[in-house]
Amino acid sequence: MPFVDADALSKREYDVIVVGSGAGGGQMAYTLTMGGARVLMLEAGRRYDPATETAMFQTPEMAPLRGTGTPEKPFGFYDATIDGGWQVPGEPYVSASEAEGRRFRWWRARMLGGRTNHWGRMSLRNGPYDFKPRSRDGLGFDWPISYEDIAPWYDKVEMLVGVYGSNEGLENTPDSPEGCLLPPPKPFVSDLLIQKHSAKVGFRTIAGHRAVLTRPLDWKRAPAKLHPGNAAAQAIVARDMRRRAACLWATPCGNGCSIRANYQSTTVHLPPALETGRLDIATDAMVAEVMLDRKGRASGVRFIDKRSGRSREAHARVVVLAASACETVRILLNSKSSRFPDGLANANGRVGKYLMDTVGSSVSGQIPILENLPPHNEDGASWGHMYAPWWEYQAQKAGRLPFARGYHVEFAGGRRMPDFYTAGGLEWLTHGSYGRKFKGDARRYYGSFVYFAGRGEMIPNDDSYCEIDPDTKDKWGIPVLRFHWKWSGHETRQAAHMQKTFADLIEAMGGRLEKPPVTDGAKAIAPGGSIIHEVGGAMMGDDARHSVVDRNCRAWEVDNLFLADGSVFPSNADKNPTLTIMANAWRVGDVILDRMQRKEL
């Protein structure tokens, strides 16, 4: 205990197997073990210890190529992703088309904690509209649950992981009850400038919501709200909250946080779950399929022990897949049997369908008023001290916009630790200065740029899905996914709207653009998958004919099989998905505990 060897597993019996250790798997393991269940977590990646492995205080000049991104480490030398990225060696995937707008990119991290070790930590609640989009505009699908159904678990997740933000009472941008949010950090200088001018293009900037501790968690009061009536769980979580330090405002969150000031599954969910003594974790365990007993119930999983390359089995009363949306789909589709010849839970052919990402488009500009500012510390909690929620609900309702659904705006500016690019690409401003003049120019322009990124809702469509590629297997012999992708006009027109809005705002700030905004939305939109918010593929619903799982994320066709990641999303609101993945996983975990207590599972 608690890290276990694959060879030992076939002899043990668990209450629940959780596949994957990221946001969904971490939350599920936490909820179940705190509630008394004995859990085995199987993780395809290697063991990762943020306390000893995080490159937190290393600076760019200490790294090769000043830490810049390379094909192996696209987000930079120190980025926390291990054994992954846009490609995972030996684990390919296939794009059905290489045509522009039809390719899908897939970011995977093969490590304990998955992508939560380096994600952006932007943590927004979906609003009431976001759960019922079809009822509002006739497009896509409604969720079988409402905002009110999931709100109590948003509260709990915010209290447990620690999310800063503010309550503003804005449309479809839910406020959190008292005691849930931490106070936001102060805005950057560039944030204040953006705030001053943003009204000219219509939007309002407010405090960002990120999973970063701006002060220590409320370990005296929060545990009782998180685990009412469960004194043991309260004591564990109170102890663990005291071990997490508040942010020290100086190091890039994407490298990970060894002081546990931001949310990573490895620093927030897994330590208390392990402390219960009820969690076993097997790393390097690549799950290939869900196994069934004679009655057609899940009996466990078959996995490859990557260290030996051998096939192994593990057994439990309940199986939860939380391997990330597309990996969960892959496991379901690869779980073929005489009873389920087209893959598990796929009698209606819906597994893999309605894959979504976020609509992304960005514009940056140079702002003369930010030149030559006196040097001052602008590190902060990496970025995201402020953002702007979608502001055009009423214009949209009145039919004044050429697309359905909206986007929020994330932005950044100011100085960071100088790196490879700090004085690069300035020719459009310096016109090619050299020597002393160039040094002066580099100082002048350092920190005078602003960057805007739109993050918008994609409406699920019939042409965006994944399936098993009939010809390709990974190095473990497991068939891989083939992706099909297509944006609709709603998304491309939204991307064009982002370009115009951001360019207008930069102009309003007295700034300049290196290139004019892209007016063709099909060219302005980031490729499918590249925003790394992929969800869908195993939709939840109230009708077994059209969905893969029910409202409690239980497979319609297998009573003791649950999904706990973004695969179950029927829509992908502009709000980044991870907070909702966690809130939903906690909700589903409580359902499993309840059903286990009633001996239904």
Ligand X SMILES: Cc1cc2nc3c(=O)[nH]c(=O)nc-3n(C[C@H](O)[C@H](O)[C@H](O)COP(=O)(O)OP(=O)(O)OC[C@H]3O[C@@H](n4cnc5c(N)ncnc54)[C@H](O)[C@@H]3O)c2cc1C
Q: What is the contact surface with ligand SF4 in residues (CB under 6 A)?
A: 212, 247-251, 253, 257, 259, 261-262, 381-382
Task: Select the binding partner of residue 247 from ligand X, ligand SF4, none (C-beta < 5 to 8 A, by kind).
Answer: ligand SF4
**118: its two tokens:** 């380096």
How far, in Å, CA of 73 to CA of 155, rounded? 35
Beta carbon nearer to ligand X, 172 or 567: 567
Task: Select the binding partner of residue 50 from ligand X, ligand SF4, none (C-beta < 5 to 8 A, by kind).
Answer: none
Task: Select the binding partner of residue 251 from ligand SF4, ligand X, none (C-beta < 5 to 8 A, by kind).
Answer: ligand SF4
Beta carbon nearer to ligand SF4, 88 or 182: 182
Beta carbon nearer to ligand SF4, 261 or 409: 261
For residue 18, give the nearest of 587, 549, 562 by alpha carbon.
562
Beta carbon nearer to ligand SF4, 181 or 259: 259
What's the closest the beta carbon of residue 71 comes to ligand SF4, in angstroms? 25
Q: Which residues bind ligand X (CB under 6 A)?
A: 19-25, 42-45, 75, 107, 109-110, 114-116, 118-122, 285-287, 322-324, 327, 331, 532-533, 565-566, 576-578, 581
Beta carbon nearer to ligand SF4, 62 or 250: 250
What's the closest the beta carbon of residue 535 comes to ligand X, in angstroms? 8
Between the CA of residue 323 and those of 58, 512, 533, what are the distances in Å? 31, 43, 14
Q: Using an 8 Å Cβ cutoff, are 561 and 554 in contact?
A: yes
3-state helix, strand and coil shares in percent for the chain, rounded to the nearest 5: 30, 20, 50
Q: Using an 8 Å Cβ cutoff, are 213 and 245 in contact?
A: yes
Task: Select the binding partner of residue 323 from ligand SF4, ligand X, none (C-beta < 5 to 8 A, by kind).
Answer: ligand X
Beta carbon nearer to ligand X, 313 or 543: 313
Dihedral angle sign, alpha carbons of residues 8, 9, 13, 16: positive
What's the closest the beta carbon of residue 2 comes to ligand SF4, in angstroms? 25
Half-sphere exposure of 342 (CA within 13 A, CB side): 10
What's the closest the beta carbon of residue 415 comes to ligand SF4, in angstroms? 15
What's the closest the beta carbon of residue 386 comes to ligand X, in angstroms? 14
Beta carbon nearer to ligand X, 113 or 414: 113
Task: Select the binding partner of residue 278 from ligand X, ligand SF4, none (C-beta < 5 to 8 A, by kind).
Answer: none
How far, in Å, CA of 156 to CA of 65, rounded? 42
Strand segments, DSSP code E, in 283-391 are: 285-292, 298-305, 310-321, 353-356, 359-366, 386-388
Write the CB contacts of 199 (distance below 8 Å, at least 6 apart in sequence).
none
Instruction: Tell how far CA 104 is from the center of its chain.
Output: 17
What's the closest the beta carbon of residue 464 comes to ligand SF4, in angstroms? 33
What SS3 class is residue 109? coil
How far, in Å, CA of 342 to CA of 336, rounded? 6
What's the closest the beta carbon of residue 18 comes to ligand X, in angstroms? 9
What's the closest the beta carbon of residue 334 comes to ligand X, in angstroms? 9
Beta carbon nearer to ligand X, 469 or 504: 469
What's the closest the beta carbon of residue 378 comes to ligand SF4, in angstroms? 12
Return the HEC string of 183-224.
Answer: CCCCCCHHHHHHHHHHHHHCCCCEECCECECCCCCCCCCHHH
How far, in Å, CA of 482 to CA of 407, rounded? 28
Q: Using an 8 Å Cβ cutoff, are 28 and 588 in contact?
A: yes
Q: Which residue has tokens 């690069």?
A: 424
What SS3 class is residue 50? helix
What's the closest the beta carbon of residue 114 comes to ligand X, in angstroms? 2
Beta carbon nearer to ligand X, 503 or 535: 535
Beta carbon nearer to ligand X, 121 or 493: 121
